[in-house]
Amino acid sequence: MDILAQLITSFFATGAFGIIFNAPKESLLKCGLVGMGGWLVYYVLEKHMGDAVFATLSATIFIAVISQEMAKIYKTPVIIFSVAGVIPLVPGGLAYDAMRKFVENDYNHALGLAAKTLLLAGAIAFGLVFSEVINQIQRKISYRVSKK
């Protein structure tokens, strides 16, 4: 039941972000589905392993790989699918908590939270780069095979 609510809300949240970023109308549904898949990966991993960084990394790689495949099929830039999909993973909540601790002059907790936020942002970026590397290796291999 809980996971169903998460799926529905993540679908609508990502689709709505597609509208804010003015993604083409026909791709809004796909944006929502990409975001939903990514959030499912994150949610399940985070719940069962308790490591947000690893969950974020896996979810980002999942989103980026799916987006790249979709971009190839529909001949549109990858960014259209990946940007909205990644948004739920952005550590906005943590950044807020860190900021709140700073305001309350609780610098010890605030610094820890800020470091965690940075790590999560790094995980997202690394996931995106990693999947791009996979994509390039794949392309090179298929190029070599077709040449032989």
Partner 1 sequence: MNKMNDQASKTYEIMEVCLLAGKIMLQSGGETYRVEDTMMRIAAALGVEKSHSYVTPTGIIFSAEGDEPTKTKLIRISERSTDLKKVALVNSVSRQITSGDLNMKEALNRLQEIETMTLTFPLWVQTAAASLASGCFMIMFNGTWIDFIPSMISGGLGYLSFVKFHRFVPIKFFSEFLAAFIIGLLSLLLVQIGFGKELDKIIIGSVMTLVPGLLVTNAIRDLMAGHLIAGLSKGAEAFLTAFAIGAGIAVVLTFL
Among 40, 53, 76, 135, binds partner 1 (CB under 8 A): 76
Among 49, 69, 72, 77, binds partner 1 (CB under 8 A): 77
Between CA 134 and CA 122 the distance in angstroms is 18
State the minimum distance, in angstroms, from the CB of residue 15 to partner 1.
8
For helices 52-74 and 28-49, what crossing angle results, to 10°? 160
What residues numbered 2-41 form the site for partner 1, per CB under 8 A?
Answer: 5-6, 9-10, 12-13, 15-24, 39
State the minimum distance, in angstroms, from the CB of residue 86 to partner 1.
6
Long-range contacts of 111-120 (CB under 8 A, 24+ apart): 116/52, 116/91, 117/91, 119/53, 120/52, 120/53, 120/56, 120/89, 120/91, 120/94
- Four-CA torsion 96, 100, 102, 104, nearest 10 degrees: 180
Q: How many CB atoms lie within 10 A of CB 7?
A: 15
Question: Between residues 54 and 76, which has the closer beta carbon with respect to partner 1?
Answer: 76
What residues numbered 118-137 form the site for partner 1, per CB under 8 A?
Answer: 121-122, 124-126, 128-129
Question: Between residues 53 and 95, which has the closer beta carbon with respect to partner 1?
Answer: 95
Among 29, 69, 92, 141, binds partner 1 (CB under 8 A): 92
Specify the DSSP element, H or E, that contains 106. none
Among 52, 59, 86, 113, binds partner 1 (CB under 8 A): 86
Closest CA to 3 of 36, 49, 52, 50: 36
Query: Which residues of the shown chain bind partner 1 in the complex (CB under 8 A)?
Result: 5-6, 9-10, 12-13, 15-24, 39, 75-77, 79-80, 83, 86-88, 90, 92-93, 95-97, 99-100, 102-104, 121-122, 124-126, 128-129
